Amino acid sequence: MGDRFDMRGAHFEGSAVGHQASVNHYTSGPAAPVEDLLEALARVRPDIIAAAPAADRAEVQAEVGKIEEELKKEEPRGKVVRKRWETVTTLIGDLSAPLTKITELVLKLFG
């Protein structure tokens, strides 16, 4: 309890028979999907900001910027991306198809 492991994208092969086992684990993050999310976000950024109520546009714009910054990090923190996207979607309310696609990508990458 307390230790958590993110095994998304992990690959295991080989077998362990007997009382000894060797484990080699090579990880590579979901770089391509993160790039897909960044590209999709850049494409619909103007739509996201325009969809926000006038009083909330500055906050939505700032949150989208922070999401982009997080996604550009070597190891983006999924929890941060999810929370900021929740803020954006809460402020906007009704989501159009492009914004729904962003939500799907965020959930696919960061659960």
Average of per-residue pLDDT across 57-63: 97
DSSP per-residue letters across 10-31: ----S---SS-----------H
What's residue 110's pLDDT? 87
How do the domains of the chain map onto residue ranges? 31-110
Region for residue 14 given its phi and psi (left: phi exceeds 0; alpha: psi -120 to 50; beta: otherwise): left
What's residue 91's pLDDT? 93
